[in-house]
Amino acid sequence: MFIFLKPLFYQTYSYFKSYLHEISNLIFPNLCLTCERELLDNEHNICLFCTMEIHMIYYDISTQENTLDKLFWGRVKVHRTFALFYFEKDTHEQKILHQLKYGYKAQLCIQLGKWMATDWLQKNQNLKIDAFIPVPIHSRKKFNRGYNQSEQLAKGISSILKIPVDCNFIRKTKNTNSQTKKSIFHRRLNVQNVFKLNNKWHQYKHIVIVDDVVTTGATLEAMISIINKRYPALEISIFVLAMTK
């Protein structure tokens, strides 16, 4: 008897689930984070139209020195750099980054991390990478925000590239102020002596530091400088979601 009722049960359950989903969308509509248009079932966080308007970075980073490379010239040695899109004020990109940091959107971070990894693979990057190292934030800031956006980005990248994320490699010991409105000089001053490496000795040959957005590169420079002191032969690359244009 149960065998015959089983298909009917699943059909009723599927209908009921769909009905609840529609009711939920009426009360709490699933809207695009940038244009606030209602998302389709196959869209997540950002609609297709807004995705197409994002200012992607299309240069071939395997053969061409780019703006992100040049940011670190004469400061620290960087093996490779990669950024998914450009950041400008009053754009979709700004809204996305704001949601990333302050909108309690951990799943958005993972989604964008997967996008970064997919774009990287399309550029035929065959580098041997030992670990992804997210830019750490202070424990107090992580508690207030609910997560570290760079860590979530790294997890999204890792899920596609199948390379581990090491969140204990380096930590931030001071809860610094936001870099947003600071000059280049004060950005560098703000991140001096705020990072500390884990005492464990690592056998990594090539790591990738993951960050959400880079403007002057002061934070990444401070991290790389302290890493180079202990691991001078270690190759360090940079993956960022966005860079200022």
Which of 52-61, 176-185, 201-210 tops mean pLDDT?
Answer: 201-210
Phi, psi at 32, each rounded to 5°: -65, 135
Q: How many folded domains does the chain comprise?
A: 1
Tokens of 170: 């380096």
CATH code, domain with 188: 3.40.50
Q: Which residue has the higher pLDDT, 208 or 5?
A: 208
Q: Is residue 70 part of a domain?
A: yes
Q: Is residue 177 part of a domain?
A: yes
Q: Is residue 40 part of a domain?
A: no
Q: Is 48 helix (H, G, I), strand (E, B) or coil?
A: helix
Using alpha carbons, select from 177, 149, 133 the residue that is nearest to residue 242: 149
Q: Is residue 45 part of a domain?
A: no
pLDDT value of residue 224: 96
Q: Is residue 18 part of a domain?
A: no
Q: Which residues pair with 163 in a beta bridge?
A: none
Q: Is residue 90 part of a domain?
A: yes
- Across 147-160, average pLDDT: 96
pLDDT digits (tens, 9 = 90+) for 85-107: 998 888 888 899 888 888 888 89
Neighbours of 216 (CB within 10 A): 16
- Across 41-62, average pLDDT: 78
Q: Which residues pair with 235 in a beta bridge?
A: 206
Q: Which residues pair with 38 in a beta bridge?
A: 31
Nearest-angstrom CA–CA distance, 153 and 239: 10
Q: Is residue 73 part of a domain?
A: yes
Q: Which residue has the higher pLDDT, 149 or 19?
A: 149
Q: Is residue 34 part of a domain?
A: no
Least confident window among 137-141, 176-180, 225-229: 176-180
**Residue-number span of the structural domain to which 219 is assigned:** 55-244
